[in-house]
């Protein structure tokens, strides 16, 4: 198939309902940039854009397109749950129309380029430097000097255009930063005469903000001190059909940033840094564990039986086997089987799924790491946790152990504070929740008094944990190990070696949130069976988060599991802390969002 020449009229009508993205309001943007650039007539990028976009020779076709789109059928229901929110937002028909005009003008340019024998969707471009490289290599070039002895070749997105007759300045952004392109008519015409005639006016005509282009040339610093690529040749690499969103708009409409992450990344360079840091953090964790003799393992994400945590699982169905499967809610039980199998130090970093609501702290799929170390107990896991975080800070935070998170400074210098859960609870509520004199009814009443509903709690221990979570969690700002939980709420943890009724477990809290969870693992199969049976009774009584008796796991324990310490860390939450992100959605590239309303008949803005 040859690249199809796509005329507006040849497009299936159904496309047109979608191209009414009114929130990229060029109207406001242009007015603002007019002000920013002092309103110099003809030189403002926005004016330039509008002027060329609304050029008279195009207007006839544009109108035809508008007319044909009036009959457009309602757009198909959103594909990925990240439905374009703009359709549903009440914007004026005028701006929607404006966008359509801009887009069709860009389509005309695609057509024009192909007619001139220039492919607007190129195949490859040889890049010699990143913009960051250039700033580093040529940081010392004096203002007003030209380094024509060097040859550079860079590519990226045009963020901004300023045109002054025979001279133009574009801002090009690549993944490392931005640089100015110094575009001189004579120089470009000279170098490109064999490729594209009148290449400078083509450049002005064809290239819009948002396009991806590649340029070759040398280096020049302007009189004003701006380091620039002194362009000899340019190549259109990908023509963009939609104008870039206005920067300020992106910042205010948070939902839209998540729904259209690609635009968020284009206009907010800081977002890219978050994901770079996320990759550095996971790499640092892997490096730390690999050097300490841990083996990275992959266990199934589809389980025949959900277990290893208290959570509601997602259910799916395997067609060929005709059986229901559960998406894993934890990796725990499989990793422990491997410890039984002789892998003394294992970890898995991967996705976990829980069928629960979405919030600034919860995404239905999230990344966790679980680490198991044979012959270790929960005390060892506390040290491992501290060492691991210190190592991560060394790698991604220049070794500084103090991290600014929102309004507080978190200090990760070890050793971290350790508090007993019941002791803290006693200090906060003034009473001993482990007292044998306390009845379940009294406990519930007390919880109620503290403003914590615990009506469905089945034991005093559960009430106590619920009260702890609602009263004490928010006080735990600095990294803290909360240790020694009640047996009833920890079905996979080993009984405490000296305190009856408790287990050897800790949770790490930081900035008022749970960050990690660890136990001395329960290795006694008889005890484990009793815990499972208790869980299964709760499930029978309607607790959707409880699990069943997992016979195959018990069979593994019966084969003998060494004393083992296990530690689970929420990677997303760790990344939130280290990137100062208030919401989990800031650290997940494509968070799950509530589907927006059904499409209203978006013919409404076509019908004007």
Partner 1 sequence: MELSSGNTIETVTSDQDLRNETVGSDDGSVLSKNELKRRMKAQRLAAERELRQSSRVQQHQAAARDASSGNQEADEELMTSQQYFSHRCRVVEHFRSSGEDPYPHKFYVTCSVPQFIAKYSYLGVGERLDGEEALAGRIRSRRLSGSRLFFYDIFADGTKVQVMADARLDTAGNFATVHSALRRGDIIGVRGYPGRTKTGELSIFPVETRLLSPCLHMLPKPHQMLSDPETRYRQRYLDLIVNREVRPIFELRANVIRFIRKFLDERGFLEVETPIMNAVAGGANARPFVTFHNELGVNMYLRVAPELYLKELVIGGLDRVYELGRNFRNEGIDMTHNPEFTACEFYAAYLDYKDLMDLTEAMLSLLVKELTGHLKIKYHPEGRHALENEVEIDFTPPFKRISVMDALREALPSELRPLFPESEQLGTDESRFRLETICERVGVVCPPPVTEARLLDKLFGALVEPKCVSPTFVCDHPEIMSPLAKWHRNRPGLTERFELFVNGRELCNAYTELNDPFVQRERFLSSQRDADKGDAEAMAKDEDFCTALEYALPPTAGWGIGIDRLVMLLADQNNIKEVVLFPALRPRPNSDGDEAAELRDRVQDLKVKE
Q: Quick one: 90 exposed, middle or buried, by C-beta within 10 A (0-12, 13-18, 19+)? A: exposed
Residue 478 tokens read as 């600095």
**Minimum CB–partner distance for residue 225 and partner 1 (Å):** 26
Q: Are strands 212-221 and 146-164 parallel, antiparallel or unpaired?
A: antiparallel
| Cα separation, 591 vs 101, whole angstroms | 32
327 binds partner 1 (CB under 8 A): yes
Query: What is the DSSP secondary-structure string of 453-499?
Result: --TT--SHHHHHHHHHHHHTGGG--S-EEEE--BGGG-TTBPBPSSS
Contact residue for partner 1 among 387, 530, 598, 608 (CB under 8 A): 530
DSSP structure class, residue 76: P
288 binds partner 1 (CB under 8 A): no
Contact residue for partner 1 among 71, 295, 431, 445 (CB under 8 A): 295
Residues 143-172, interacting with partner 1 (CB under 8 A): 155-157
| Cα separation, 10 vs 231, whole angstroms | 37
Residues 363-382, interacting with partner 1 (CB under 8 A): 364-365, 367, 374-377, 379
| Cα separation, 6 vs 106, whole angstroms | 12
**Minimum CB–partner distance for residue 87 and partner 1 (Å):** 11
Residues 382-441, interacting with partner 1 (CB under 8 A): none
Q: Quick one: 428 exposed, middle or buried, by C-beta within 10 A (0-12, 13-18, 19+)? A: middle
Q: Which residues pair with 163 in a beta bridge?
A: 168
Binding string, 246-285, against partner 1, x = CB under 8 A? --------------xxxxxxx-----x--xx-xx--xx--
605 binds partner 1 (CB under 8 A): no
* Whether the Cβ atoms of residue 328 and residue 550 lie closer than 8 Å to each other: no
Residues 489-528, interacting with partner 1 (CB under 8 A): 494, 497, 504, 520, 523-526
| Closer residue to partner 1 in complex, CB, 367/429 | 367
| Closer residue to partner 1 in complex, CB, 52/238 | 238
**Minimum CB–partner distance for residue 472 and partner 1 (Å):** 27
Contact residue for partner 1 among 140, 291, 317, 437 (CB under 8 A): 317
**Minimum CB–partner distance for residue 189 and partner 1 (Å):** 25
Token look-up 């190990």 returns 481
| Nearest residue to 209 (alpha-carbon basis) of 246, 176, 240, 177 | 240
Q: How many chain residues touch partner 1 (CB under 8 A)? A: 133
| Closer residue to partner 1 in complex, CB, 228/299 | 299
Residues 330-359, interacting with partner 1 (CB under 8 A): 334, 337-338, 340-344, 350-351, 353, 355-358
First to last CA, the chain: 38
**Minimum CB–partner distance for residue 208 and partner 1 (Å):** 10
Contact residue for partner 1 among 116, 251, 555, 597 (CB under 8 A): 555
| Cα separation, 605 vs 17, whole angstroms | 9
* Whether the Cβ atoms of residue 505 and residue 490 lie closer than 8 Å to each other: yes
Residues 6+ apart with CB under 8 A from 139: 227
| Closer residue to partner 1 in complex, CB, 388/493 | 493
How many Cβ atoms are within 10 Å of 290's Cβ, its own excluded? 12
Token look-up 């109620």 returns 448
| Cα separation, 388 vs 376, whole angstroms | 16
Token look-up 């103090």 returns 402
Contact residue for partner 1 among 165, 323, 437, 451 (CB under 8 A): 323
Binding string, 73-92, against partner 1, x = CB under 8 A? --xx-xxxxxxx--------
588 binds partner 1 (CB under 8 A): yes
Contact residue for partner 1 among 529, 539, 543, 545 (CB under 8 A): 529
240 binds partner 1 (CB under 8 A): yes
**Minimum CB–partner distance for residue 500 and partner 1 (Å):** 14
**Minimum CB–partner distance for residue 101 and partner 1 (Å):** 15
| Closer residue to partner 1 in complex, CB, 71/283 | 283
């Amino acid at each position: 198939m040859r690249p199809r020449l796509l005329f507006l009229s040849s497009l299936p009508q159904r496309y047109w309902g979608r191209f009414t993205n009114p929130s990229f309001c060029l109207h406001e943007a242009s007015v603002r940039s007019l002000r920013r650039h002092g309103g110099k007539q003809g030189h403002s990028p926005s004016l330039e854009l509008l002027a060329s976009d609304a050029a008279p020779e195009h207007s006839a076709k544009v109108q035809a397109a508008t007319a044909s789109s009036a009959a457009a059928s309602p757009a198909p229901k959103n594909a990925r749950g990240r439905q374009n929110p703009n359709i549903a937002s009440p914007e004026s028909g005028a701006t929607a129309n404006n966008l359509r005009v801009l887009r069709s003008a860009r389509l005309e340019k695609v057509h024009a380029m192909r007619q001139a024998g220039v492919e607007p969707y190129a195949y490859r471009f040889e890049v010699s430097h990143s913009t960051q490289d250039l700033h580093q290599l040529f940081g010392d070039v004096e203002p007003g000097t030209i380094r024509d002895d060097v040859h550079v070749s860079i590519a990226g997105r045009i963020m901004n255009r300023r045109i002054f007759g025979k001279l133009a300045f574009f801002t090009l952004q690549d993944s490392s930063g931005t640089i100015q392109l110094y575009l001189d008519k004579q120089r470009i015409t000279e170098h490109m005469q064999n490729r594209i005639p009148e290449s400078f006016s083509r450049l002005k005509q064809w290239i819009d903000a948002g396009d991806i282009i590649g340029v070759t040339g040398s280096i020049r610093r302007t009189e004003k001190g701006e380091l620039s690529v002194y362009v000899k040749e340019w190549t259109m690499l990908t023509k963009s059909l939609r104008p870039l969103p206005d920067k300020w708009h992106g910042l205010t409409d948070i939902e839209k940033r998540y729904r259209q992450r690609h635009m968020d990344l284009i206009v907010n360079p800081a977002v890219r840094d978050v994901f770079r840091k996320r990759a550095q953090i996971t790499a640092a964790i892997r490096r730390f564990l690999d050097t300490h003799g841990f083996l990275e393992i992959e266990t199934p994400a589809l389980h025949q039986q959900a277990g290893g945590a208290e959570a509601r699982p997602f259910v799916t169905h395997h067609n060929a086997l005709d059986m229901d499967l559960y998406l894993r809610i934890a990796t725990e039980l499989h990793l422990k089987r491997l410890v039984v199998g002789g892998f003394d130090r294992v970890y898995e970093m991967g996705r976990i799924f829980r069928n629960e609501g979405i919030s600034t702290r919860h995404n239905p799929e999230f990344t966790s790491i679980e680490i198991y170390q044979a012959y270790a107990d929960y005390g060892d896991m506390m040290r491992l946790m501290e060492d691991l975080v210190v190592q991560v800070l060394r790698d991604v935070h220049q070794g500084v152990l103090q991290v600014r998170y929102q309004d507080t400074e978190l200090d990760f210098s070890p050793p971290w504070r350790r508090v007993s859960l019941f002791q803290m609870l006693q200090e906060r509520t003034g009473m001993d929740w482990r007292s044998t004199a306390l009845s379940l009814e009294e406990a519930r009443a007390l919880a109620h008094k503290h403003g914590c509903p615990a009506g469905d709690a089945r034991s005093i221990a559960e009430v106590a944990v619920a009260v702890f979570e609602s009263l004490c969690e928010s006080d735990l700002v600095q990294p803290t190990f909360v240790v020694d939980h009640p047996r009833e709420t920890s079905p996979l943890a080993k009984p405490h070696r000296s305190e009856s009724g408790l287990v050897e477990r800790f949770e790490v809290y930081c900035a008022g949130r749970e960050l990690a969870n660890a136990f001395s693992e329960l290795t006694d199969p008889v005890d484990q069976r009793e815990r499972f049976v208790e869980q299964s009774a709760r499930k029978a009584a309607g607790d959707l988060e409880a699990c069943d008796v997992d016979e195959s796991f018990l069979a593994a324990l019966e084969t003998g599991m060494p004393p083992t310490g296990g530690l689970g860390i929420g990677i997303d939450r760790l990344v939130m802390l280290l990137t100062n992100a208030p919401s989990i959605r800031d650290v997940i590239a494509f968070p799950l969002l509530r589907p927006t309303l059904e499409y209203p008949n978006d013919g409404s803005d076509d019908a004007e």
